[in-house]
Amino acid sequence: MPAPLSIIIPALNAAADLPLCLESLMPGLEAALIREVIVVDQGSTDATVKIAEATGARVVVAQDQPVQAGVNEARGDWLLILPAGTALSREWTERAGDHIDTRPGKAAFFELRYRSDDRRARALERDAARYSEKLAQPLAEQGLLISRRLLDEVSTGQSFDHAALIRALGKARLVQLNAEARASAADLERSGWRRPRPLGGGYWRTLFAAKGKS
C-alpha cells in the first residue's frame, strides 16, 4: 500500500528557509508516512527550485493558486499543506499518523512556535494558542493536515486560500496536534513584529504588535 501523505509546500524565494523545512520532514519519510513532497514554486529568483530538486522533491510552477496547483498534482489520500518557512518538530510524524488513522473526518494543525528569542514572539504565540483553541483559526504557518475526501467536501471544486479553507472547515472539524510548527520570524522582525491586515473580519485580521513591551 502506498504511503498516505502528500506534502504540499508553496514557496517564493524561500532558499533561506526551505532546507530546514525539508529536513524536518525526514521522520515522515523514515516512517513511510510520506508518499511525496511537492514544492510549488511561485516564481522564485533565488535557489528555491534547485534546493527542492536536490532533495528529491517534485517541483510544480504556479504563480497563482499554489495550494490548488499542489493539490491537483498530489497523489496521496492525505495532504499536508506547509509553508516553506515552517519546520516541524520531530514528533509530528507520530501525531500526524495517529490523526490519519483515527480522525479521517477532521483536519489538523500544529502548535505555533516562532524561531526567535524575542519576547514579542512568545506573546504572538500565546495569542495564536488562545484563538486556535477558542475559534479554531490557525495561521497558515501552523500547517494544515487534511484528507483529500474532506478537502473535496468543503471545497466543492473551488480554489481556496488558507483563510477560506479554515472557514469552510469550521471549528468542529479542526483539531490541534501536539507537535510544533516552528515558523520563521524573519518577516515579523523586519516589520517590527506587526502582522499585515488581510481583508475581511476576524481576530487574525487585526492582530498587530505583541502585548509585551520590550
Kindly report, residue by residue over 75-108, the tens digit of the pLDDT. Answer: 999 999 999 999 999 999 999 999 999 999 999 9
Give the model's pLDDT for residue 211: 32
Strands 174-183 and 86-88: antiparallel
pLDDT digits (tens, 9 = 90+) for 9-52: 999 999 999 999 999 999 999 999 999 999 999 999 999 999 99
Q: What is the mean pLDDT of residues 110-128?
A: 92
Q: Cα–Cα distances in Å, from 3 out to 26, 56, 97, 148, 209? A: 14, 16, 11, 14, 41
pLDDT of residue 162: 83
Q: Give the chain's domain count.
A: 1
Residues 6+ apart with CB under 8 A from 159: 65, 67, 68
Q: Quick one: how many helices (H) and strands (E) in the chain? A: 9, 8
Regarding beta strands 144-147 and 174-183, do their DSSP bridges make them parallel or antiparallel, or are they unpaired? Answer: unpaired
pLDDT at 200 over 80: no
198 within a domain of the structure (yes/no): no
Assigned domain for 132 exists:
no
pLDDT of residue 158: 62
Look up cell 510544533; give the residue.
Answer: 180
In a domain, 207, yes or no: no
176 located within any domain: yes
Q: 200 lies in a domain?
A: no
Nearest CA-CA partner of 51 in 13, 80, 24: 13
Name the residue range of residue 156's domain: 5-119+137-192
Q: Which of 84-88, 116-120, 199-203, 208-212 has the highest mean pLDDT?
A: 84-88
pLDDT at residue 214 above 50?
A: no
37 in a domain, yes or no?
yes
Residue 156 has pLDDT above 90, yes or no: no
Assess whether pLDDT exceeds 50 at residue 199. Answer: no
d(CA 114, CA 184): 6
Residue 30: which CATH number? 3.90.550.10
How would you classify the pairing of strands 107-114 and 86-88? Answer: unpaired
